[in-house]
Structure 1
Amino acid sequence: MRQKLARVIGGVAMLALVAGGTACSSGSDDEASGGDGCGSKIAFFGALTGSSAALGINEKNGVKLAVEKYNKENADCKVELAELDSQGSPDQAPGLAQKAIDDAKILGIIGPAYSGESEAAGPLFSEAGLVTITPSATRPSLAQQGWKTFFRAVGNDLSQGPAAGTYIKNVLKADKVYVIDDQSAYGAGLADEVKKVLGSAVVGSDKVQGEGKQTEFSGVVTKVKAANVKAVFFGGYYQEAGLIRKQLTAAGVTAPLVAGDGTNDPAYITSAGAAAAEGTILTCPCAPAAEARGTFVEEFKALNGADPGTYSDTAYDAANILLAGIKAKKTTRADLLEFVKSYDGEGVASKYKFVEGGELDPAQVVVWAFKVQGGKVVPDQEIPKS
């Protein structure tokens, strides 16, 4: 577990980096793409409406806090926040990406938030030279496409998947596991990594439809019940996970559900119902946002009226990396891209340095298990790296 003192020091360091220097005066649209940075934009790209919106809103609110703080500290040279609502859909991602590319004031993107939309938008951003830092898209292949503008502020599923499998094997001690995924780029990939760890303990697997396309899961529930398993793993997002858990419980299946970061949100409890959700294990390649460094938690709650959720802190940090570049007069897309490539600094959630493919330095990656307890998602334990 990371020490509280380190969190405080890291938070102060990030704030100093963003706030440092003298304010600049307002400039023209042309200057926003290569002058002093005044009037330029950064954009959040992710689901803000629709069935996948909860995690996107968590992240957007973290970005909003970063921009509001920056603008208070640089009142004569403000940066705008653009919001690109993808609804988590890969089908909408290319059009939104092109919209961002066509806006010359947008110098960088926080997102895309999900793996599927990242796959769809990544080639366009790369070709345009528009830097992106995703706070949450974890599919490993995203860093293997040769995109020059892709960066990831968390670990990928090659860290989360094995950790989830290790937790099922060593903590739950489950020797019979059923694995389900939603066929998304994220969910299927995560489930595959879990299967590799569990091996012969996986006694059955199945696929369901995601993105709100399926709400009745009696077929897979019947199979899980017949298999008499000790645990169920689900790769996908909270809306389907909650309904599956609810229907498993109604059928008398008491085996705990384990799921990844796409399910790690209070909206899962709403979907499943508090009684059915109790005891669920949710993993994340992130530390608890409630333990973020410095004054982040208090400031987030004051601005948004709610505690930070999954990836609120990593989105805040991603925004601050882009804002630090703008503050340092890296106010063309090419210059900001180079700034991010060479970035090495502390945030409220982690230390950030990017390696090949835009991945977060593996030395900074952590994976945590969270647990639904008393109707809330609470930290359980950091899962040791294998």
Structure 2
Amino acid sequence: MSLAACNTTTKGGNSADGGCDYAITYFGALTGDAAALGVNAYNGAKLAVDQYNDKHKDACVTLNKVDSQSDPNQAPALATKVAQDKNVLGVVGPLFSGESKAADPVFNSAGVPLISASATNPHLSENGWKVFHRLLGNDDAQGPDVSKLIHDVAKAHKTFVIDDASEYGKGLADVVKKDLKSEVIGSDTITAGKTDFAGTVTKVVAAKPEAVFFGGYYPEGGLLAKQLRAAGYTGSFVVADGVKDPEYVKIAGDAAEGTLMTCPCVPGDQVKAFADAYKAKYDVDPGTYSPEAYDAANIFLAGIDAGKTDRASMNTFVSAYDGDGITKHLGFTKTGESKEIPIWGYQVKDGQIIPVKQLS
């Protein structure tokens, strides 16, 4: 059986055409404003499934992909379609926190195990969802490391905080504000999807901060950086994983240079065998969330290898998982949080996003 026959691209997530007995589903943006991060994650999961199928010619696994556009309004209906496909044993995703908040109750009701490689809002693990697992650190863990980056690398003690009002962006910005305390000299909220942030830029320039932190995604982050620099702001621009993508550099242009970033994700080039296989398959380097999605898919594949071929036994397997991945030693707490939480600092240098150091 060819690998292509074991991957289906139907938006609704039905694995009937996959030609395999069992399926896992990628759930997240593949189109839309923040699609680049979703493509990174999907490609990581697909590499894992393709490698598995290459070694299991007589027992392949289908990888479905559901393009949610990371829209919380679409997420529940799409999650319902995934849950109705009885071949689906698990979900890699949802990608972002807003769609997770909307879709995860559906998955929980249907008993569909999920492992998000990217949704970081802390409150997601506080709902009693038995199927919830998160492979990376949440924003309560990341927020203090944003502060560490602002203090230790930017050498800043006066910060202006901006968010995009999303579950992710506002949640992380609130953690950063709580951690920085009186060092926050101003804050504002922008609207995702807008392109003119003149009002916010005016407030920043008037406040004269040493650093600006933005909680949100790369489409707005790139425009905000460009508009801040054009208005004469010369301090540090600090962002997090939602902005950590080459598309940010493309949007911001020269204004991206020097941008500091945090991410509860491991640099792809730190795991050479994975990075080489990824580059050989896609002709690009691994992106943000690619390694984490690869690990998430491999946990489900290990469950199938162990005979966990119904959702209940798969969920028990995932919850108790204890093994090495490419990003770290993998395992989950009782609420589905990752037991190990490496967080890295990055910076844009010469138009490239490069790791600076591991922060925690």
**TM-score, normalization: structure 1?**
0.87
What's the CA shift for 1:38? 4.9
Is the Cα contact below 8 Å between 1:165 and 1:195 reproduced in 2?
no
CA distance in 2, matches of 1:170, 1:313: 27
Match of 1:371 among 340, 347, 351: 347
CA distance in 2, matches of 1:143, 1:336: 19
The one-character-per-residue Cα deviations of 1:150-203 (angstroms, maximum 9, x if unpaired) are 000001101111110122123322121110000000000100111112111111
SS at match of 1:315: helix
Is the Cα contact below 8 Å between 2:219 and 2:248 reproduced in 1?
yes
Partner in structure 2 of residue 121 of structure 1: 103
SS at match of 2:160: strand
The one-character-per-residue Cα deviations of 1:320-373 (angstroms, maximum 9, x if unpaired) are 000110111110011111110111001111111111210011xx2111110000
Where in structure 2 are the equivalents of 1:45-60 lying within 5 Å?
45-60=27-42
CA distance in 1, matches of 2:151, 2:320: 39
Partner in structure 2 of residue 10 of structure 1: none
Is the Cα contact below 8 Å between 2:257 and 2:351 reproduced in 1?
yes
Where in structure 2 are the equivalents of 1:247-326 lying within 5 Å?
247-273=227-253, 275-292=254-271, 295-326=273-304
SS at match of 2:284: coil
**Structure 1 residue 382 corresponds to structure 2 residue 358:** yes
**Structure 1 residue 91 corresponds to structure 2 residue 73:** yes
Where in structure 2 are the equivalents of 1:82-231 lying within 5 Å?
82-210=64-192, 212=193, 214-231=194-211
Runs of 5+ in structure 1 lacking a partner? 1-25, 27-32
CA distance in 1, matches of 2:98, 2:67: 14
Where in structure 2 are the equivalents of 1:14-29 lying within 5 Å?
none
**Structure 1 residue 77 corresponds to structure 2 residue 55:** no
Amino acid aligned to 1:287 = V
Amino acid aligned to 1:283 = T
Is the Cα contact below 8 Å between 1:162 and 1:194 reproduced in 2?
yes
**TM-score, normalization: structure 2?**
0.94
**Structure 1 residue 44 corresponds to structure 2 residue 26:** yes
Is the Cα contact below 8 Å between 1:38 and 1:79 reproduced in 2?
yes
The one-character-per-residue Cα deviations of 1:2-59 (angstroms, maximum 9, x if unpaired) are xxxxxxxxxxxxxxxxxxxxxxxx9xxxxxx9xxx95211000010001010100000
Aligned residues: 344
Partner in structure 2 of residue 234 of structure 1: 214
Is the Cα contact below 8 Å between 1:48 and 1:85 reproduced in 2?
yes
CA distance in 2, matches of 1:172, 1:377: 16
Amino acid aligned to 2:163 = D
SS at match of 2:155: coil
CA distance in 2, matches of 1:197, 1:171: 17
CA distance in 1, matches of 2:41, 2:184: 34
Amino acid aligned to 2:261 = L
Is the Cα contact below 8 Å between 2:20 and 2:62 reproduced in 1?
no
What's the CA shift for 1:72? 0.5
Q: Percent identity?
A: 51
Is the Cα contact below 8 Å between 1:169 and 1:198 reproduced in 2?
no
Runs of 5+ in structure 2 lacking a partner? 1-5, 7-14
CA distance in 2, matches of 1:220, 1:165: 21
What's the CA shift for 1:241? 0.4
CA distance in 1, matches of 2:149, 2:55: 44
Amino acid aligned to 2:119 = A
The one-character-per-residue Cα deviations of 1:282-340 (angstroms, maximum 9, x if unpaired) are 10012211112x51111111111110011100000000000110111110011111110
Partner in structure 2 of residue 4 of structure 1: none
Is the Cα contact below 8 Å between 2:237 and 2:260 reproduced in 1?
yes
Amino acid aligned to 1:143 = S
Higher mean C-alpha displacement, 168-177 vs 156-165: 168-177
CA RMSD after TM alignment: 1.4
Is the Cα contact below 8 Å between 2:266 and 2:291 reproduced in 1?
no
CA distance in 2, matches of 1:52, 1:197: 27
CA distance in 2, matches of 1:172, 1:142: 31
